[in-house]
C-alpha cells in the first residue's frame, strides 16, 4: 500500500481593513498571545506586525497592517504606504469588515486596491456577536455584490467565534511551501518594539480622546542588570506641553498607573522582573520629522 504524501502548506497573509474593524484583536485571538496593540481608537497599529501561526501541516505568517486612512502627516503617509507595500508581499489577503458598521467609501477604496492583486481575497465579517443572523445574511449579500471574494467567513475576534473555521479557510488558499519560522516563534518583532507598543497602548487607553494620535514611544534602553532585573527606559513623544501634562496626570498618577500596567504585561512577555522607566518629551510636529520617524521605527534608516 502506497503511503499518501502529506502536503505542507505555508504563506504570508495580510490582514487589511479600515481602522477599528478588529485586525489586531483577530491576530491576537489567532495566536493566543497579545503581540499587537488593541484600542478602540483609530490608527493604533502603526507598524506591520508579523504573527506566526502553526497548524498540523501548515504555517501561516500574518501581517497585521495599519488601518487604511487618508494621511494628514508624514507619519500618516508612512503608515498608509506600509499597508500598500504589504499587499505586494503576500500570498493571501484577508479583508476585515465590521458587521456593525455600514459599508462605506473607505471599504470601497480598499477593495479598489485589492482588485489589482493577483491573490485570493477572503472577506472576514467581524463582530458577528453584535448582530442577528438575519442582519449578517444581509451583510454577506451586500458585500458579494461589490467584490468577487475567494471566501467569506463570519467571525468574532472578541469572543473567538469561528476562529478555527477562519484558519481552515486561510489554509486552503495556501500553496505548498516551506516552514519559514521555528514552531516556538510567535512573532518576528524585537522585544523592544513590542514593549513600546504596550506602553503606547496603556497611555492611549487612559487619555481617551484628550490625546489624539500624537503619541510616539521609543525604547531608549533594554538591558539586564546584575540583580537579574531588566531595566527598560522609554521616551514618550508628544507634540505639545498640554499633552505632556495630560499624560503625566495630576501628581504623576496617570503615567504611574500606565507604567504599572505596562510593566506587568512586559514581565509576562519576557518572563523576568522589570524596572520600567518612562519619560515624556515634547517635540513639536514630530510626526513630520524624518529622523524621529526613523528612530521610532516607522521609516527605514538610510
Is 232 annotated as ligand-binding?
no
Residue 23 annotated as lining a ligand binding site: yes
- Quote the cell numbers at residue 175: 500553496
Is residue 127 part of an annotated ligand binding site? yes
Would you say 267 and 48 are in contact if contact means Cβ atoms under 8 Å apart? no
Is 264 labelled as part of a ligand binding site? no
Write out the three cell numbers for 213. Answer: 494620535
Consecutive H or E run containing 243: helix 241-248
Residue 283 makes CB contacts below 8 A (sequence gap 6+) with 237, 238, 239, 289, 292
In angstroms, the CA 238 to CA 269 distance is 26
Secondary structure of residue 82 in the 3-state scheme? helix
Q: CB of 101 within 8 A of CB of 125?
A: no
- Residue 18 marked ligand-binding: yes
Residue 67 is labelled as binding a ligand? yes
- Of 279, 264, 168, 173, the residue nearest 217 (C-alpha): 279
Whole-angstrom Cα distance, residue 124 to residue 175? 20
Is 66 a known ligand-binding residue?
yes
| Cβ–Cβ < 8 Å for 59, 179 | yes
Residue 175: beta bridge partners? 10
Residue 21 labeled ligand binder: yes
Known binding residue 128? Answer is: yes
> What phi and psi values does residue 53 have, to the nearest 5 degrees?
-115, 130
CA gap 98, 295 in Å, rounded: 34
Binding residues: 17-24, 64-68, 126-129
Binding residues for GTP: 17-24, 64-68, 126-129
Amino acid at each position: 500500500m502506497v503511503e499518501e504524501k502529506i502536503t505542507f502548506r505555508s504563506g504570508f497573509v495580510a490582514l487589511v481593513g479600515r481602522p477599528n474593524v478588529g485586525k489586531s484583536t483577530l491576530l491576537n485571538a489567532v495566536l493566543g498571545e497579545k503581540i499587537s496593540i488593541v484600542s478602540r481608537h483609530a490608527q493604533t497599529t502603526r507598524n506591520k506586525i508579523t504573527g506566526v501561526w502553526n497548524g498540523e501541516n501548515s504555517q501561516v505568517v500574518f501581517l497585521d497592517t495599519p488601518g487604511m486612512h487618508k494621511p494628514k502627516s508624514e507619519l500618516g503617509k508612512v503608515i498608509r504606504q506600509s499597508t500598500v507595500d504589504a499587499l505586494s508581499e503576500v500570498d493571501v489577503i484577508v479583508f476585515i469588515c465590521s458587521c456593525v458598521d455600514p459599508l462605506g467609501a473607505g471599504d470601497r477604496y480598499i477593495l479598489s486596491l485589492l482588485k489589482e492583486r493577483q491573490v485570493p481575497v477572503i472577506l472576514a465579517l467581524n463582530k458577528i456577536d453584535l448582530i442577528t443572523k438575519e442582519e449578517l445574511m444581509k451583510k454577506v449579500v451586500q458585500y458579494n455584490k461589490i467584490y468577487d471574494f475567494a471566501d467569506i467567513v463570519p467571525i468574532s475576534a472578541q469572543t473567538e467565534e469561528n476562529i478555527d473555521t477562519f484558519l481552515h479557510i486561510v489554509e486552503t488558499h495556501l500553496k505548498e511551501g516551506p516552514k519559514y519560522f521555528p514552531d516556538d516563534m510567535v512573532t518576528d518583532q524585537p522585544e523592544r518594539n513590542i514593549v513600546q507598543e504596550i506602553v503606547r497602548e496603556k497611555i492611549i487607553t487612559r487619555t481617551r480622546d484628550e490625546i489624539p494620535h500624537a503619541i510616539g514611544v521609543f525604547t531608549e534602553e533594554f538591558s539586564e542588570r546584575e540583580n537579574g532585573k531588566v531595566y527598560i527606559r522609554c521616551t514618550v513623544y508628544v507634540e505639545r506641553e498640554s499633552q505632556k501634562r495630560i499624560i503625566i496626570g495630576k501628581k504623576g498618577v496617570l503615567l504611574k498607573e500606565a507604567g504599572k500596567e505596562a510593566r506587568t504585561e512586559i514581565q509576562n512577555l519576557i518572563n523576568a522582573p522589570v524596572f520600567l522607566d518612562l519619560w515624556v518629551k515634547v517635540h513639536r510636529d514630530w510626526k513630520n520629522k524624518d529622523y524621529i520617524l526613523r528612530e521610532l521605527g516607522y521609516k527605514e534608516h538610510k
